[in-house]
Amino acid sequence: MTLAETVRAAFTAEFGTEPEGCWCAPGRVNLIGEHVDYAGGLCLPMALPQVTTVAMRRRSDHLLRVRSAGFDPVDLDLRDRHVDGWAAYVAGVIWTLDPPGFTGADIAVASDVPVGAGLSSSAALGTSIAVALADLCGLPLDEDGRDRLATACVRAENDYAGARTGGLDQRIALHARPGHALLLDFADGSSEHIPFDAEAQGLTVLVVDTGTGHRLADGQYGQRRGEVEDATRLLGVGTLRNAASADPLDDRVLRRRARHVIDEIARVREAAELLRAGRIRDLGPLLDASHRSLRDDFEVSCPELDTAVGAAVAAGALGARMVGGGFGGSAIALCENGHVDPVRQAVADAAARRDFAAPTFLRATASGGAR
């Protein structure tokens, strides 16, 4: 059964009627450009083939009933403007978008995006709801319309789910094109689709989910953002995008944090140039350098991620790095197709030797956006 069939069946079983339609939005990996979105930087994400799918039928009585396998069912009155838990990603988008004539809905959710793995299942959920609402309520789904949906989803996450998100996840989920990565510029909001067809070059982007849920909630994310803000102020630049060097900073920690951001932005520029020239293989050293920088200068890696990245490279990956906010979650390894199996084996063996959770693997094919 496809995911769309699964979610339709779940909807009908739960609510006893047919949905008006099904909509989906993808998870993502960021090829490079980590912890730079809130510093006016550049990121280069791509959408995964894994998606979150929602089936929806509107109601006229202001009730919202949402169901997702493995999560508590939630029923609420939309006029109360109060929600707890996972349904915040659904109700928050409804309240923020406030689509004309929308007065409640039954919604079933099914997803093959791993949850809490740093692959952005939360943004996949929020943006799939946003396209569903746009489609049902006649909001435009062209590029400008999608920009507005992305902005609303970011606000919904900030205001209702209490997640501080910079917008990378929502923008890639809404704008992704198959066979392309998306260069996002957080200084001016612009973007560029860059061809990224690894398969055509005999390459695989292997995603390693370490099974260690990323633990951004423990305050580290906020602390790093604070350090970046301090470094920006001390350097006297509007954002670190405008800083040439971290050397003038006296504080050793702030200097390292700023150095990561400045160097990472330069790496994204270089990566984008390589992709424009079709030189995907040459991304390898940039991925390695990004990981070292996140581990040593920005200090957001963890033993599980370092072990996965180290084992992947030792087994022949062209390059590997942690992705997402850090402190757990996933890593990517760029591999020749012939090296995928040995890399998987080496990563699994290395985790077992250290008594870490068994990692799981996905192949990241650059896929389309919310639809």
Binding site for ligand ADP (CB under 6 A): 52, 68, 71, 86, 89, 109, 111, 115-122, 125
Closest CA to 350 of 302, 300, 299, 314: 314
Write down the catalytic residue from 106, 169, 263, 297. 169
Tokens of 106: 């039954």
Q: Are 156 and 126 contacting, i.e. CB atoms less than 8 angstroms apart?
A: yes
Pairing status of strand 191-195 against strand 45-58: unpaired
Strands (DSSP E) along the chain, which ranges? 21-30, 42-43, 45-58, 63-68, 74-77, 105-111, 180-185, 191-195, 203-209, 319-322, 330-336, 360-364
Token digits of residue 261: 């951001």
Least Å from the CB of residue 23 to ligand ADP: 13
- Adjacency order of strands within the sheet including 105-111: 21-30, 45-58, 105-111, 63-68, 74-77
Residue 106 known to be catalytic: no
Query: Rounded to the nearest whole angstrom, what is the least distance from the CB of residue 71 to ligand ADP in the complex?
Result: 4
Nearest CB to ligand ADP, comparing residues 117 and 305:
117
Sequence-separated contacts (24+) of 161-165 with Cβ below 8 Å: 161/88, 161/89, 161/92, 161/122, 162/88, 163/122, 164/221, 164/222, 164/225, 165/123
Task: Output the smallest distance, CB 122 to ligand ADP, in A.
Answer: 3
Instruction: Give min distance, CB of 142 to ligand ADP, in A.
Output: 26
- Kindly tell me which of 38 and 241 has the beta carbon lying closer to ligand ADP: 38
265: closest CA among 19, 109, 40, 68? 40
- Assess contact for 279 and 317: CB atoms under 8 A: no
Nearer to ligand ADP, 223 or 345 (CB): 223
24 phi and psi angles, rounded to 5 deg: -140, 160
Helix, strand, or coil (residue 54): strand
Nearer to ligand ADP, 160 or 196 (CB): 160
Phi then psi for 155, rounded to 5 degrees?
A: -60, -40
Sign of the Cα torsion 292, 284, 197, 39 reads positive
Give whichever of 120 and 204 is closer to ligand ADP, judged by the CB atom. 120
Starting from the edge strand earliest in sequence, which strands make up the sheet with 330-336, in order? 319-322, 330-336, 203-209, 360-364
State in angstroms the smallest separation of the CB of 115 from ligand ADP.
5
Q: Minimal distance in Å, beta carbon 52 to ligand ADP?
A: 5
Would you please indicate which residues are annotated as catalytic (active-site) residues?
169
